[in-house]
Structure 1
Amino acid sequence: MLRVSAILLLSLLATFVSAIKFDLAASPSSSAYNDRKCLSQYVSENTMVIVTVKVGEGYNQRVDLEIYDDSDSMNKYATRKDVGEQGAKLAFNTHTDASIIVCFTNTLSEGFKNNAGYKRTIDVDYDIGAEALDYTKIAKAEKLKPLELELRKLEKVVQEIWDEMEYLKKREAKMRDTNESTNERVQWFSSLTMFALVSLGTWQVMYLRRFFKRKRLID
């Protein structure tokens, strides 16, 4: 029983959902894009992500959202126009190691003057990796017992932690190679600088010695 309790506790601690709730003020159509609000979450390559958005009530306001990453290719994963109170649930797999950015704009309808009273509440939930899997369907398909299902969840979480550690290990090795290469270049640059300074100093001494001899200032 102690082992079972420990496993269940670890699975509960390892599995979490990132939830954010905020108010988004409405802006005229001419400035709504500049007043947009963005949230970011770093996600590894080929990871399943589910973004669930709930939008509160708002009169004559249109909430749009866009999901993309900050990689060089700027992969765009989803766009939704006029997300109403029914909300939206968007699922996708990431294409690269990057931060997933979710941006919201709240556009005020034409003919309405902007004031602080126009705003809508945005509720965003991130389900990433193991969190995004539908374990109810898995349990039904494979006929798993509750304990076996918790072990499956824990196995997935541990695998993600292992993959993250491997990624960090590669990053550390890459940074170490970069540091060693930089140190080697600095050493070569220092050696060339010292050689140039010594050569220039020797040439100056010899030039001044010849100059003073021509002027008969020294023997």
Structure 2
Amino acid sequence: MTRYSTVPLLLFTLLTISNVVLGIKFDLVATPSNALSPKCVSQFVSNGTLVVVTIKVGIGYNQRIDAEITDNSSSHNEYGRKRDIEGETRMPFTTHTDADISVCLTNILDDGFRPDPKYHRTIDLDIDVGAEAIDFSALVQAEKLKPMEAELRKLEQVVQEIVDEMEYLRRREARMRDTNESTNERVKWFSLGSIFVLVGLGGWQIFYLKKFFQKKRLID
């Protein structure tokens, strides 16, 4: 195998390892509107990342599927909300902060029907993050890219995501280091203060006991 023939294999390997995709399939049992039990799927996503959530809902009667996408940051950002999902729906968005993205689904049973396990709908949920969320087929058609150029463009996006992730880890490590240094500094001053207090308390006890014994004429 020549050096040039290994390039596509290396590209394919890097793309396979680096892409971030979360796919899950499950049955969501219907519950009355006054006893909702959301099913949530979470994934950590860094700031400024493109995310595409694809929800495929199976056939089911007397039921309504609702979806809500939020994060667990202090701002509690909401990225999308859809009611009465039928078939397939896509919800693209770009994250506003480093946080866990939660996709919560509810299956609401219509009024007049009693809860029963037979009332359920199959959910096929895919969460594409970063390079995997980009529609490269449309990009290829728009820019008339060759297959190798398209793979290189995709690899460029993946490498950029890796660089951004490393930068995020570097910032996080710097924050943790600053926190550790601040904690160590506070512990040092607390220890010194404790020593001064103990020395002062010991000196006061000696002085007090000396005065006490002198008053009792036990010592000169």
Same fold (TM over 0.5): yes
The answer to whether 1:23 aligns with 2:27 is yes
State the identity %.
56
Alignment correspondent of 1:76: 78
**Of 47, 50, 67, the match for 2:49:** 47
Flag structure 1 segments of 5+ consecutive residues without an equivalent.
none
SS at 1:183's partner residue?
helix
Mapped pair 1:119 → 2:123: no
Q: Aligned partner of 1:119: which letter?
A: H
Superposition misfits of 4+ residues, deviation over 3 angstroms: none
Structure-1 residue corresponding to 2:209 = 208
Amino acid at match of 1:173: A
1:110 counterpart residue number:
111
Structure 2 unaligned blocks of 5 or more: none
What SS does structure 2 have at the residue aligned with 1:17? strand
Q: Which 10-residue stretch deviates more, 6-15 or 94-103? A: 6-15
* Number of aligned residue pairs: 216
Q: Which residue of structure 1 lines up, in the alignment, with residue 193 of structure 2?
A: 192
Q: For 1:48-197, what aligned pairs fall within 5 Å after superposition?
A: 48-84=50-86, 86-197=87-198
- Cα distance, 1:119 vs structure 2: 1.6
CA contact (8 A) 2:20 2:130 kept: no
Q: TM-score, normalising length from structure 2?
A: 0.94
Supply the AA of the counterpart residue of 1:166. Answer: E
What is the deviation of 1:188?
Answer: 0.3
Offset at residue 158 of structure 1 (A): 0.8
Q: Distance in 1 between matches of 2:19 and 2:105?
A: 27
Rounded Cα–Cα distance in structure 2 between residues aligned with 1:72 and 1:20: 27
Cα deviations across residues 188-212 of structure 1 (Å, max 9, x unaligned)?
A: 0000001101100110111011011
Between the aligned partners of 2:80 and 2:133, the Cα distance in structure 1 is: 17
* Cα RMSD (Å): 1.3
